[in-house]
């Protein structure tokens, strides 16, 4: 027979296992998001319907509306995931700690990784935005949020005389729009461009713009 202590330990283990396991609702939501990503890999947003989305998940149409108000809500959730990945990857440079060139190289590498994985989502929202007011707002808000934090980071390095003097905001916008457009072009379809080539191009532009004074780094980001 189990001792009382052993029984208590087992109960605690079972409680911990249940707490760690995703709930049914979380599993359903995850399945819907996965189906949305898979659909957008091969089709534009305009062809997406709740019916064909949920047919791919095995769940009912009503299950969709337990998690999202509409397909726009789904797209916003997918774009939020992309934003989260980009912000997390950008922390080495955004934090302002350590060598700015090395941290920027690390952050741009993470950006290209996220773009490679989620380029179809960026393409879907970007393509639909001009003819869809709600997605247009979502897309511009997505891009604009990066403009603010990049401009602030540029200003910090200008104060430290690491970056040339110019108005940070227009340059931040230009760099971010370049990134978005290039990542969509490179990774927005099933046939993706080479990640290393994309990274080298993006890194060349960022480094030559922000840190042209650094004598240890060539224009393509490689150390001398």
Mean pLDDT of 174-192: 96
Is pLDDT at 152 greater than 90 in this prediction? Answer: yes
Instruction: Point out the domain boundary residue: 68, 86, 109.
Output: 68
Query: What pLDDT band is residue 216 in, cutting at 50, 70 and 90?
Result: low
Tell whether 221 is covered by a domain. Answer: no
Q: CA 28: distance to chain centroid?
A: 22
122 and 202 belong to one structural domain: yes
- Point out the domain boundary residue: 21, 38, 68: 68
56 with 84, same domain: the answer is no
Q: Are 104 and 63 within one domain?
A: no
* pLDDT tens figures, 121-130: 999 999 999 9
Do 176 and 93 reside in the same domain of the chain? Answer: yes
Q: What is the mean pLDDT of residues 167-183?
A: 98
Q: Look at residue 108 and tell me whether its pLDDT is greater than 60.
A: yes
pLDDT of residue 23: 82
Mark whether 44 and 64 lie in a shared domain.
Answer: yes
| Structural domains counted in the chain | 2
Report yes or no on 11 lying in a domain.
Answer: yes
Q: Which residues pair with 32 in a beta bridge?
A: none
Range of the domain at 97: 72-215
pLDDT surpassing 60 at residue 144: yes
> How far is it, in rounded angstroms, from Cα 47 to Cα 64?
17
Q: Average of pLDDT values for 104-116? A: 97
For residue 203, the model assigns a pLDDT of 97
Q: Which residue has the higher pLDDT, 178 or 223?
A: 178
pLDDT at site 213: 79
Q: Could you count the other beta carbons within 10 Å of the beta carbon of residue 55?
A: 12
15: pLDDT strictly greater than 60: no
CATH value at residue 30: 1.10.10.60
Cβ 162 vs Cβ 141: under 8 Å: no
10 and 92, same domain (yes or no): no
Mean pLDDT for 133-154 is 94
| Residue 173 within any structural domain of the chain | yes
Specify whether 124 is located in the same domain as 211.
Answer: yes
Residues 103 and 169 in one domain: yes
Rounded to whole angstroms, the Cα distance separating 214 from 203 reads 14
pLDDT grade for 65, boundaries at 50, 70 and 90: very high
Do 144 and 116 belong together in one domain?
Answer: yes
Instruction: Say how many CA atoms lie within 13 Å of 69 toward its Cβ.
Output: 3
22 occurs within a structural domain: yes
pLDDT of residue 190: 87
**Residue 203 and residue 96 share a domain:** yes
The pair of structure tokens assigned to 42 is 């091969």
Range with the lowest mean pLDDT among 108-117, 180-189, 214-223?
214-223
Q: Which of 68, 86, 107 is the last residue of a domain?
A: 68
């Amino acid at each position: 027979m189990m001792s009382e202590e052993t029984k208590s330990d087992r109960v605690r283990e079972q409680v911990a296992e249940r707490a760690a396991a995703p709930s049914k609702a979380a599993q359903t939501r995850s399945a819907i998001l996965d189906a949305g990503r898979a659909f957008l890999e091969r089709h534009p947003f305009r062809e997406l319907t709740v019916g064909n989305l949920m047919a791919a998940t095995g769940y009912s149409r009503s299950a969709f509306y337990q998690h999202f108000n509409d397909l726009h809500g789904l797209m916003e959730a997918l774009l939020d995931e992309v934003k989260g990945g980009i912000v997390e990857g950008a922390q080495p440079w955004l934090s302002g700690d350590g060598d700015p060139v090395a941290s920027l190289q690390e952050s741009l590498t993470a950006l290209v990784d996220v773009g490679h994985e989620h380029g179809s989502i960026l393409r879907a929202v970007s393509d639909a935005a001009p003819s869809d007011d709600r997605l247009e707002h979502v897309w511009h808000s997505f891009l604009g949020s990066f403009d603010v934090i990049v401009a602030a980071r540029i200003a910090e390095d200008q104060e430290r005389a690491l970056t040339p003097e110019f108005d940070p905001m227009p340059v931040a916008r230009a760099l971010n729009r370049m990134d978005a457009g290039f990542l969509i072009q490179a990774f927005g379809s099933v046939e993706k461009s080479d990640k290393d080539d994309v990274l080298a191009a993006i890194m060349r532009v960022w480094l030559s713009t922000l840190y042209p004074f650094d004598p240890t780094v060539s224009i393509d980001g490689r150390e001398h």
